[in-house]
Structure 1
Amino acid sequence: MKFIIDDKIPYIKGALEPFGEVVYLSGAKTTAEIVRDADALVTRTRTKCNESVLKGSTVKFIATATIGFDHIDTNYCAETGIQWTNAPGCNSKSVEQYIASTLFVLAEKHNFELNGKTIGVVGVGQVGSKVARFCEIIGMKVLLNDPPRARIEGPEKFVNLKEIQEQSDFITIHVPLNMEGEDATFHLADKNFFANLPKKPFVINSCRGEIIDSTAAKSALANQSINGLILDCWENEPDIDLELLAACDIATPHIAGYSKDGKANGTSMSIQAISKFFGLGIDNWTAPNIELPEQTKIRLDGFKCTEEQILAQAILSTYDIRHDDAALRANTKDFEKLRGDYPVRREFPVFTIETENVPQSTIEKLTQIGFQINTK
């Protein structure tokens, strides 16, 4: 067997070598000629798996180590019998951490408290659900919008997009990119969307760049229809709109889901899927030797601190989004390099918090968020 693997997928080397030839290539070099005699592809979002690449090949299975799969032409795969899989939820905790850092940085920058503010979560899948839960833990009012789930589960716990627009202080979007149909999300945030935001919310996009109309977003910022824009995903990546970047409150190079934990999960799910499809016998394979940050212990002294200050210190000790924002602004031409060389980021459960003068109610919230606690 022959496996073609994106060379930016971590922890995967050695997993498939016992079962055949393994070729590691960048997504840009994964061409029709390269995949012609391959049995399986392991990809990321930068590899377009469509007819022009797959036609005439021996590819039987595609695994993308990502949540999103809009880079796979699923209709063509269905027509030609090529099976495929993605990694749903693999980096959901990483995106939760990204949104948590975003919220506390915005609160500090603009001098407000998050407790009591309203956040609209558009798309309540594995990512949006975790974001919503986190926001509830820290005392925010959460509105949920997810038309496909509302149709299946009933409308009781969901609101429509108009209510999100009217009531939210923050709107965070976590939907797949659907170009057409009842649940089309291409340019979901368009000129009309931005024109109907009476509370002038902060808008956050960490799912797909095409969800937001860049021209409409720039107009909304110029007209002060919104208080700020936070973008991790961009139209036309990696050739992003530098005018839009300059206007953003926070701008990052599509790394919301780039914790080492999220990447390891995506790799593990891909190898497990390939094993099951080809009968390789490594159905429980997991990524080995995930790097740790230099410091996994956080000391919190809550003396004369509000609960929100304590929570902010804990969250930002694990990940401060301002570093990624500064890196992109300083290296706008290195969008892909910033992604490819992304530093070690680990999720909340890796960290142990040593607390002093921290109320039990706050400790309980830190535990719910996922931290390990060591109380003095």
Structure 2
Amino acid sequence: MKIIADSAIPFLRGVLEPFAEVEYLPGTAISAADVRNADALVIRTRTRCDEKLLADSRVKLIATATIGFDHIDTAWCAAHGIEVTTAAGCNARGVLQWVGAALVHLSRTQGWQPAERTLGIVGVGHVGSLVKAYAEGWGFRVVCCDPPREERERCGFRTLEEVAREADILTFHTPLDASTRHMADSRLFGLMKPGAILINSSRGEVVDGEALLRSGLGWALDVWEHEPHLDPALLENALLATPHIAGYSEQGKANATAMSVASLARRFGLPLEGWYPPQAAPARRRPISWQELCRTIGGAYDIASESRSLKERPGDFESMRDHYAYRREYF
């Protein structure tokens, strides 16, 4: 059995080797020749899995250690008997804490308190649900939009237009697909309050960057169109700018790797059910007040410093991601 794995996936080396031949490669360098004799791939978003990569291979499973799967042609894979698994929800608390850090920074630099702001949440899944619960506890008025959930559950979520009109801060937590690509466009920006802030930590293509530049809004971005080639003006004028690392917590990465290993174990009968990286500390899941968040988040994650680093060295975007010092979740 042979497995091709992205060399930047943490905690993985040595785990699969007793049961398979494992070759580690940079995600962007994985080629059709590399995967031709592979039974499984363990990847991140930097590997595009489509007919071009997979057509002549014997791959039966693609385990992506990411929450999204827009880098995988799932229809082609399904038609050719290739199973695809994701790590949905693995880094939800890491993203929550990135959002918390962004909100604290904005409140300090702009001089407001949560009770004075309406937070709009677009996408109320693994991440958005956490952001909603914690933001309400912090004192924000929260309005939510999630059309698929509203259609299924009739849970009282607002339309995207209603949320855009009411929000002082609008944060996106959606997957990327045909319905969400450029969801945040010039039309939507025209509905928002003057001086409102857009936060995106989902996928870069959810937001039309060129339209955002013309919008008159403020923005804090972790994800960007055309990564790793960032629009210089979008970067320079961002209130906060980080290199697609919102979910890069130690526990989030451990969860993602563990979920990928579990997929391999189930598909190929490997004795690795329940495996979890022993070097990863358990997360402390607990409520946290706004006052405690303001007091402690800087010691856990200096988002302003990270933003300055990216603005100073945008060409290091990929290196910053690949060599990131994972944050530790503390709530």
What TM-score does the superposition give when structure 1 sets the normalisation length? 0.84
Which residue pairs with 1:209 in the alignment?
A: 204
User: What is the 5 A alignment of 1:316-327?
Assistant: 316-327=298-309
Which residue pairs with 2:315 in the alignment?
A: 333
State the shift of 1:196 in Å: 1.0
- Which amino acid letter does the alignment assign opposite residue 178 of structure 1? D
Alignment check: 8 A CA contact 2:45 2:69 kept: yes
Alignment check: 8 A CA contact 1:167 1:199 kept: no
1:95 & 1:67 partners in 2: Cα distance? 11
Question: What is the aligned counterpart of 2:255 among 262, 265, 270?
Answer: 265
Alignment check: 8 A CA contact 1:32 1:54 kept: yes
1:309 & 1:288 partners in 2: Cα distance? 33
Which residue pairs with 1:279 in the alignment?
A: 269
Alignment check: 8 A CA contact 1:233 1:254 kept: yes
Deviates more, 1:38-47 or 1:283-292: 283-292
Which residue pairs with 1:196 in the alignment?
A: 191
State the shift of 1:199 in Å: 5.0
Matched, 1:62 2:44: no
User: What is the 5 A alignment of 1:215-364?
Assistant: 215-220=210-215, 224=216, 226=217, 228-290=218-280, 308-348=290-330
Alignment check: 8 A CA contact 2:42 2:62 kept: yes
State the shift of 1:166 in Å: 1.2
Unpaired runs of at least 5, structure 1: 297-306, 349-369, 371-376
State the shift of 1:308 in Å: 4.5
Secondary structure, aligned partner of 1:62 = strand
1:97 & 1:178 partners in 2: Cα distance? 25
Alignment check: 8 A CA contact 1:27 1:43 kept: yes
State the shift of 1:323 in Å: 2.0
Alignment check: 8 A CA contact 2:121 2:170 kept: yes
- Which amino acid letter does the alignment assign opposite residue 326 of structure 1? R
Matched, 1:33 2:15: no
Cα 1:285/1:308, change in 2 over 3 Å = closer
State the shift of 1:198 in Å: 2.6
State the shift of 1:316 in Å: 2.4
State the shift of 1:201 in Å: 1.6
Alignment check: 8 A CA contact 1:291 1:344 kept: no
Secondary structure, aligned partner of 1:19 = coil
Identity of aligned residues (%): 44
State the shift of 1:146 in Å: 0.3
User: What is the 5 A alignment of 1:164-175?
Assistant: 164-175=163-174
Unpaired runs of at least 5, structure 2: none
Aligned-residue RMSD, C-alpha: 1.4
Q: Deviations over 1:310-330 (max 9, x none)?
A: 430122222121121011012
1:234 & 1:344 partners in 2: Cα distance? 20
Which residue pairs with 1:10 in the alignment?
A: 10
1:323 & 1:341 partners in 2: Cα distance? 16
State the shift of 1:134 in Å: 1.1
Alignment check: 8 A CA contact 2:182 2:206 kept: yes
Alignment check: 8 A CA contact 2:119 2:143 kept: yes
